[in-house]
Every structure is written in structure tokens, then in C-alpha cells.
Amino acid sequence: MAQKPIREYAGKRLIRSWMDKKNISEKYNTLQTMYFVSPETNLEEAESPFDADTKLVAKPDQLIKRRGKLGLVKLNKTFNECIDWVKQERNKKLTIGSTTDRLKYFLIEPFIAHSQDEELYICIHSVREGDEIMFYYSGGVDIGNVDDKAIRWTITPSMENKVKREDFIKNLLSRQVLPKAPFNCNSEEYNERNYHLFLGEFLYQLYLMYSHLHFAYLEINPLVVKKDLSGIYILDLAAKLDSCAEFIMHTEWSDIITEFPPFFGHESKPEESYIQSLDERTGASLKLTVLNPNGRIWSLVAGGGASVIYADTICDLGYSKELGNYGEYSGAPTQDLTQKYAETIIKLLLKSKYINNQLSPVLIIGGGIANFTDVASTFTGIINALTIYKDELLNKKTLIYVRRGGPNYQRGLKLMRECGQKTRLNIKVFGPETHITAIVSMALLNKDETSDDLNDNLNAINLEESINIQFDKQTFSWDSKEEKDNVNVNVNNYSMTTTTRAIVYGMQTRAVQNMLDFDYICRRNKPSVAAIVYTFAAGEHHRQFYWGNKTIMIPVYKDIESALKLNETQNDTIDTIVNFASSRSAFKSTRDMILNYSNYIKHISIIAEGIPERLTKKLMTLSFKYGVIILGPSTVGGICAGKFRIGNTGGMLDNIVSSKLFRSGSVSFVSRSGGLSNELSNIISRETDGVNEGMAIGGDRYPCTTFMDHLLRYQNETTCKILVVLGEVGGTLEYDIINAINNGKLTKPIIAWCTGTCADYFSYDVQFGHAGALAQSNLEKACKKNEELSKAGCFVPESFDDFGKIIRIIYEKLIKTNVINKKEAELRNSIEPPPIPLDYHWARKLGMVRKASSFLSGISDERGDELVYAGMPISQIFKDDIGIGGVVGLLWFRRKLPTYFNKFIEIVLQITADHGPAVSGAHNTIVTARAGKDLISSLCSGLLTIGPRFGGALDDAARMFTSAYDMKLTPQQFVTETRNSGKYIMGIGHKIKSIDNPDQRVVIIKDYAMKYFPKDSQKILNYALKVEQITTRKKTNLILNVDGCIACCFVDLLRSCNKFSKDEVNQYIEMGTLNALFVLGRSIGFIGHYLDQKRLKQGLYRHPTDDITYFLSDINTQQ
């Protein structure tokens, strides 16, 4: 997600909506009626919404700049004349520079008669420091270079809620800033004071709207202000919204922002829309842009940063016109989602009709070294897709090249090789030992990995000579530079050491174990994780983790205040928080951390992606004010080799070891991308004595810390000898590096590269994987930044393929000049980490261990797509119509219920009858039966487990949803209030099922309710489904589960069947009738388990001791 442009029509509607709410629309006459033409508009039946004598303007609404100069604006026409012109221009091809598109969308609005000197220019846009306003006293098509003319005023985050109308007058309109403005005089045409008040109030309200609705860019040219102050008119408008704020602005955007249109020159493809729909339903990231439908080269790449590098390399090799797509998948998508994504790419490849059919199509399945994505899982999805289309791929003689690293990559690569053997597809598979982009030249230039090409050797010699010449021309220094201007001085005052202690915010047990494993192989004396804070924790408790092969206990607290008491009670030194809160709650949690605990906390890493820019800039301001460093947002973290690791940085333990991150080296790097941080560690470890420190500042447009914040610290670190920078297209942070080199603040050799050079080859703008990866000016282009970095003295390769080679050349140069001591480097390279056992979880995935099951069960299986009882799917049970609903109606409610009500009870009983042997009640029933007890004792043992944590969610779900509906809370208000009160929404969430893998039980209940319940009676159910739409935007498994669905449907039945009064309905809910349905249904299953165990003659059960952790006194000594 990122800054997304919107149509002029949508932007003006947003402004009108805001002005209407403020009751000032009529005062300013800001907007009149508009008529929007889309491809679906039938112009033959077009009816004018305007008064008959209204003169109009018609123009395309497709993110086209300078429409007036292009002759694309029709002025002072009648409605019929405008429609005739639109008919004439519709679907006509328009070429602007190298970009061509068809005109499809048009806007018709009132023509405003005015004089030239009534035109003004106003632009508000997001900058790192806040919101910059650019204003000029003339506007229109002939305004010229507004950047040189405009008055500029920046409103910082700390000013945002304090500015008044008078501030706008003073900073934009007064004689002090605009002495030549015609309105700054008292004459017959202008009353200076009245003009200032009138326009100043409008600009003030416009800014309030801009900030409240999370605009990122708003340009009005011209803005017409009538001299007699009879009105203000917005003639032409260009705008962008921060799409990350959609969850905040859902209510205010929803009726207006129905889409974010594609850039001019790019016609949205059905495949792109499909992938976007998948992306919106998952917490992972799925992106696709079809560059050339008839391309020969297609990419299926994991990681936002890696995807750009692969596209760069393809274009650098001269194949930009044959590249079919740009895209990426990241954030650990499920196997099913990955398969759907892969199928989409493969189908595009198969239907492409490239010109040179003598060449085989190429599929690049690439990626960096993942931090936490299970490579085997995602590759299984890709393999399934390859298998489905194997025949078509074979017919096209498709070349498939694979390169990947990360968690479980060994098994993933093995599965991919086996896929090639089974399907006979031409698949070449490589791991992290191969340079990330090496497979591109192998695929396109028909090179073997081990080939000894003469040209390659000559190129390597030439590269080394040119780098040595550049090195010898420059003067380097490895002295510390005490420079604190224009950077976050707090960064220089903080360092990660072997004594750094952290709180992990969020129940991220995998990240905690990764940090502990790193600590262990670094031979730290004490774990780096002091505590876990989990706001949903029932109370203080401990979680089991491993320190080598020993079990340790990490305390879990409900709030940070409790965790920080360790600093007082146990003389701990906690000063760091790794914040794993979601994008929706990360701002609030981080803000509270800074405001309440800045006396302890000096560093916070925000892992979440998708925090709105405006909120990020507020955190930035608090960071400076309170002296707390913020890394991120949208970062994987950072690593200080041999000392401290933030979260999952560095990936799995095997990558930590292979990249030698367990001990310090001589090279420090800073990167935008988290995934490419692992790649840099891998490259640096292979070409030098290893990493000293590495930081991923995050892919958002305005990360809280910058390249320079970290580079200055590296400059002052005596053990760091080489600096490495991996920037990207978009933003201007790299120019701070150039200035620092020119000013003598950075004097160590710097190897730098900005990814995204491929953007120059595309005919239209492409939003790459990271939110900030889009050039908004020539200065922000990757090629321009690489050029300027090279001029400043950085060592910049011609492509990323040479990045590691240059690092090696510089390293060897420093070895020869004794800047890096050769013997000390050799000693570092000889250090070996202590052995550490492999986790059972990963050992099982790798097929290295096996474990006998604790139970045998022959009556149910809940593991598949649909619940099965004794071999019969749940859907088949309904087809056989086994029922007891009428009896329940008579005995429980003492009345005859409608047929559809009886059938619903039968459905509930069948669905709740059992859910496998692993749940609490069934487990108790089985253990009791195996102890030789009778059926009644066994059944009671199971029933006694039913309560708040097992099977008791129906009543609470009914109460929560019914109460919220009756109180007329909107679904968003209900979700927000429940979240703020620290409660779960009962009936929402599933451990396995998700929006993409729905629970068939819920589908059955919903379908029955919609088909057989009285018309329009599903009020509570529909309300809960609207809540589900909100919760699944956070996580796809936060679905309406079976308990919640039954509860909502049952309340709807009680209220609509005309058999119960309102008081009776409330009474039955309070009496626990809904839980009674569960008890009755589940008793069927408990009895079945009892009989099953007797039939199987299962003996006495004793739980194995190796599955129990005994810690006793260790709880106080091994923290």
C-alpha cells in the first residue's frame, strides 16, 4: 500500500462531502453538480443533471497532466455539446511522450466565467517534515515553473492541530510573503482584509480536510477566487490518498473511493484485479502488474525488494521489452494463496504471443533469503500450479529457473527438483549459495553457473581495475566524526551490545526463539529477551523457550509497565522494544510506549507494514522529542553481529550461521528492504570477513530513521571499515549521503546501489513492492540517484550482479593497505558457533524425526476441508435428514416450532456433535474410558470441561452481537470499542480456517438461514458478517466461526418466528439455551468416543514424560 492517485471526480466529491459536513459548501460554492462518464455510461441515454442554460466544461479524468495544453478541455459548452465531444474522443488513443492509452473516463462540470487575475495556485503535499503548502497568486495553464515561484510553508505534525486561519493568512497571503500579489492592496477591486479573511478561511478548511481525510497530495490549479468574494471555485484538481489509511477512513471514503485507478498508460487487466482481490483478503502481500501481455519473460518472485532487483537485472541485460510482468508475493502467504498467485502468472505466460517464437518462454521463480516465510510451503503451492499446467508448459518448451533461501528452503528446493523429474519440466534449481540474480543471466544468456566465459573474465578484470583507480583517486579516513546536525542524535547515543535487553510486544513465540537461538550461538551470558507483553494475556505467566538444549522460562505480562518493573526489582537493563503490533494498532501502542516509558525505552522497532504516513510522521516527532529511536515502520529489524538481533532479522539459524552473523566483521550495511538485508549478509559473508552491523530502515516513504542516522553511527564505529548502502527508487534519502560525503561527514569507503532502475524502461509509472518505491520526480529515480552517488565518490556498480564483486575488491584493497588486519580477519573467519539442537517443529518438516500418536480414533476427523463423522461428510448427514428438532422444541420451549426452526436445531446438533479426539471434552472422555470407568463417568468427565474456554462461546457471542445491534453501534464502532476494552469478540476467529479456506460448517448454516429463515429476518447474522468484513482485513482467520454463526442465527430465529415475546427471547439467552444446544450435540460425540475406545480395547493411558516440561525452581533462576 502507498500513496494512490484518485480521479478528479472523486477528489472533488471528497471535498464536497467534507464541506457539507462543516456546513460551508454554499458559503464557498466550492463545487457544483458533476457528470461522470465511465466506459459503462450509455451516452445515447445521457440526461443532463444541470440547469438548461448552464454552460459546461468537459475533460478526460484519467490522471493526465496538462490537459489544457494538450487540447483536452472543452470550455463553455452545452451538455449536448459536451456529450458529442466525449463521443468523439471516447476510446481514442492518446500518446504523451512514450506513454499511450485510450480515453475512457470523462468529467463534465459547470463552466466558471472568470478573469485571469482571479486564478490562484495551491498545492498541499506530504513531505518528511510534515505537510508542505505551495501557494502562488496566479495560476492556470501558463503558471510556468511553480517550484521556483511558489510561497512554501510547512506544517509540522506538532503544528497540525494548532494552526488557525490567521496562520494561513500570515504565511501564505500577507504582504510579507507576497508583496507583489494584487490582492494585497486596498482598491476598488480588492478589500485586502476581507479578501484575506475569505480566502484564509477557505485554505484553513481545505487543509483540515486534507489532513483529516489522509490526503498525501492535493493540487488545485487554478483555484478561482472572485474579486467580489462571491465564491471560490476549484477548477482543476489532482490528488492522492494514503491508501494505508483505508481502515481509518473506511466510512468517509467508502461511498466515494470505489477504486484507485491505474496510472495513465496502463490498462488494468483482469488478472491484476484478481490478484488485488486476493491481496485485500490476506495479511500477506500479493502484487501484480502486467507490463507486456505478450512478453516472453515472466517472474514469480518472493519479496518486495527482491522482485525489483530481478526486474532491474532483466532490463539491464537488454530484455525490458520482453518482460511480461512485475510482481511479488511476501509476508508468508498460505500454500493455497501462493498456488492461486502462481497459476495466474503461469496462465499469463501460456497465453502470451511473443514475436520471436524461436526462443523459449522463461519463468523466473526467484527470491531472496526469507526471514520467516516457509519456503517449502509456498513452493508446494507453486509446484501444484506447475503440475496443473505441465503439459502446456512442456509444449511451449518453457525454461524455469529457481533460486531461493530461507526457512525450510532445503526441503523446498528438493520438492522443486522432484517436480522437475516427475513432470519432465525443464527446471533448474539453486539455493542461497548462488547469487540472487545469477539465474537471470543463466536463463537469458544461456550461461551455466560454472561457465568460465572469456568475456566474463575480462569484465571482472576491467571492473577491478576501474574500482582500484577510483579508490586510489579518493582520500578515505576511518576516524570518528562528531556530527550531530540534521540527524537523529539519539541514534548515535544508542548501541546494540551483548547486554541489550528487550521486550517483545505481541505473542510472537517464533521471533522470541529466533532471538534466543542467536543469543546462544553468539555466546551471550544472558538472553536478549527479558519479557513478552501480550495485551490479551489473562495475567502474568511464563512461556517455555529453549537456550541451546536447555529449557528456560520467559515471563509474559499484560502490559509494558509490569514488564519494566524488572528494571527495578531485578536490576534489569531493558531499553528496547520489538513491536509486533498490527498496522492498525502499531501507532497507538508505539505512541503510548514513547509517552509513558521514554525514561526506560530508548529503541523501538516497528515491524508492521501499512501504518498511514501521517501517523508515522507523528511518531517521528515524538521520537525526536522524547529521545526514543524508532526503526521502521515496515522493517524486519536489524542485527549487530555477535551481539543483538531484532526479531526475525537474518532469517533462520542456518542462514545466521552461513552468513557468520554470530561474530562481528568489518562491513556495516543499511538497506530499505528486510528480505534483501539477508541477501546482503549472505553476500558480505562470502566476499569479506563478515557483517559488523546491518539495519533495514523499512520500505515506507518516510521511515522514522534514515540511511544517514545509521551511517553516521557506522562512521564512528572503529571496528567498521566499509559501508554498504542499498537504496531504492523513490524518496530522496540517498541525497543526504551525497551531502555528507561532500561535507566530510562520511569518510569511509561506501558501496552503494539503488534498486528500481528498471522503472526507466517502463512506459508508465509502476508502484513497486514497498510503499515508498515510486519516483515522484526525476531526482527520485534510481538511475539518477546511482549517478549522483557515483559522482560523490561512492562505488556504484552498473548492475546488482556486480555489487558483491565490488565489496570484495574494496575489502581486499583494505586488507592490502592494512586498514583491515589480515590476521585478525582470519581469526574471525575461524570462529565456529556452538552446536544448537534443531527444533522438533523444523525437524519434522524436514522429515528427520517421527513420533507415535498418543491416541487412536475411529469415529471423526476434523482435519480436512469438511468435518467427517465415521466416514460420512457433514454435508451428507444433512442430505439424509436425520432430525430431532421437533422433540427439542417441545421439551425445551414447550411449544411447536416452525419446520424451518426444527430443521435448524437439527443442523446445529449434527454440526456440534463432535470435533475430533483432540479437544478437551473428547480427550477427557477417552482417558476416563481407558481407565476402565463406565459410560456415565466418562461422559461426565467430558461434559465438565465445557465452559468459558471450551464450547461456551455461543451465549457470549449472542449477547455481544445482539447488544451491539440493539445499541445501534456500527460494526466499526463495535470492533473498535471491543478492541479498546481489551476484549475478544466472541464468535470471531478460527485457528485453521480463513476467508480463503472457509469453514464448511459456517457456510452450511449461513446458506440455510438465508434460504429458509423468514424474509429480512437475518438481522443479527448480517450484522455479524459486516463485523467479519472488518476483522478479516486485519487477519484472514478472524472469520465468523461456527459458534458465532449459530448464536446469531438462533437469536434471529427466536425474534422472528412469532412464538416468543422479546422478554422471553432475552430470558432464553440468559438461561444458557444456546450453550445447551452445544451440550446436547456434543454428548453424542462423547458417547461415541467412549464406545470407540472400548471396541478398540485401548489400555490405560499414561502421558509421556518427555512431553512435559519440569521447571520448578528454574522459574526464578533461569530468566
Number of C-beta neighbours around residue 967 at 10 A: 10
Task: Report yes or no: 732 and 129 within 8 Å, Cβ to Cβ.
Answer: no
Task: Report yes or no: 1050 and 905 within 8 Å, Cβ to Cβ.
Answer: no
> What are the two backbone dihedrals, phi and then psi, of residue 813, each rounded to the nearest 5 degrees?
-65, -40
The closest alpha carbon to 703, from 740, 671, 680, belongs to 671
Residue with the three cell numbers 483540515:
208
C-alpha 983: how far from chain center: 25
574 bridge partner residues:
501
102 bridge partner residues:
93
> Quick one: 538 exposed, middle or buried, by C-beta within 10 A (0-12, 13-18, 19+)?
exposed
Number of C-beta neighbours around residue 649 at 10 A: 29
User: How far apart are the C-alpha atoms of 295 and 314, rounded to whole Å?
Assistant: 12
The grid cell for 45 is: 441515454
Interstrand relation of 130-136 and 151-155 (parallel, antiparallel or unpaired): antiparallel
Dihedral, CA atoms, 854, 857, 862, 864, nearest 10 degrees? Answer: 90
**DSSP letter, residue 1014:** P
The closest alpha carbon to 594, from 638, 558, 565, 560, belongs to 560
> What are the two backbone dihedrals, phi and then psi, of residue 927, each rounded to the nearest 5 degrees?
-60, -40
User: How far apart are the C-alpha atoms of 370 and 385, rounded to whole Å?
Assistant: 21
User: How far apart are the C-alpha atoms of 396 and 359, rounded to whole Å?
Assistant: 10
The distance between the two most distant Cα atoms of the chain, rounded to a whole number of Å, is: 106
Dihedral, CA atoms, 1028, 1033, 1037, 1041, nearest 10 degrees? Answer: 0
The closest alpha carbon to 343, from 280, 399, 278, 397, belongs to 278
The closest alpha carbon to 912, from 1075, 1101, 703, 782, belongs to 1075
Interstrand relation of 868-869 and 860-861 (parallel, antiparallel or unpaired): antiparallel
SS3 state of residue 990: coil
DSSP 394-446: HHTT-EEEEE-BSTTHHHHHHHHHHHHHHH--EEEEE-TTS-TTHHHHHHHH-
C-alpha 713: how far from chain center: 29
Residue with the three cell numbers 493568512:
169
Q: Which residues contact 1042 (CB under 8 A, 6 or more apart)?
A: 911, 912, 999, 1001, 1002, 1005
HEC string for 202-271: HHHHHHHHHHHCCEEEEEEEEEEECCCCCCEEECCEEEEEEHHHHHHHHHHHCCCCCCCCCCCCCCCCHH
Task: Report yes or no: 590 and 620 within 8 Å, Cβ to Cβ.
Answer: no
SS3 state of residue 361: coil
User: How far apart are the C-alpha atoms of 672 and 814, rounded to whole Å?
Assistant: 26
Among candidate residues 770, 915, 923, 1089, the one labeled active-site is 770
Q: Is 841 one of the catalytic residues?
A: no
User: How far apart are the C-alpha atoms of 446 and 468, rounded to whole Å?
Assistant: 31
Q: Active-site residue numbers?
A: 770
